Amino acid sequence: MKRSARLALMRGLLEEGEFTSQHELIAALAERDVEVSQSTLSKDLLTLGAVKRRTPEGSLVYAVGDETEGGGVAAEKLARRCVELLQSIQHAANQIVIKTPPGAAQFLGAHVDRARLPGVMGTVAGDDTLLLVTTDPESAVRTAGIIAHMTRTGKPTRLRDLEKEGQ
């Protein structure tokens, strides 16, 4: 199996299941006739940006960002920066406008760029205003919801988190 296919499979497994160890993930891959060493798996987890996150039940599991496409550390940093800097967020058509304190828009925009949110084509930042351009109006609604949720919770947000809350 090619590396790109293996990474796609691993991403799917991590998004759907809860793996507390690399050995569990190696076993899940083996069930799908994919043999990898622990060393290769470790490198693949780094490539995917996978990190261990605490579940609501308290266990640590591997997680990779899906709706927050950059996932991992980038999504966690974006969530923290949203709490610190986001003053307001509005969307219209395929655009999202975020207001920040003076001088903070470019800083927050860089974190949005690193998180690679799905549907976001790019950002343009001024002094206190950040513009996100999305691929379509639905992406703007979805992305604005994700960013607003991150601002409320201080944690990376996935679409399924919003669905659970009925948003």
Q: What does the domain layout of the chain look like in residue ranges?
A: 3-63, 72-165
pLDDT in tens, 40-65: 999 999 888 788 887 778 889 998 75
Q: How far apart are CA 51 and CA 130, in angstroms?
A: 28
Q: What is the CATH topology of the domain spanning 72-165?
A: Gyrase A; domain 2 (3.30.1360)
In this predicted structure, the answer to whether residue 165 has a pLDDT above a threshold of 80 is: no
Place of tokens 């307001």: 88
Q: Which pLDDT tens digit goes with each residue over 114-140?
A: 888 889 999 999 999 999 999 999 999
Closest C-alpha to 132, from 9, 145, 35: 145
- The identity of residue 162, as a single letter, is L
Task: Tell which CATH architecture fits domain 3-63.
Answer: Orthogonal Bundle (1.10)
Q: Is the pTM of this model over 0.75?
A: no
Q: What is the mean pLDDT of residues 3-16?
A: 92
Confidence of residue 164 (pLDDT cuts 50, 70, 90): low
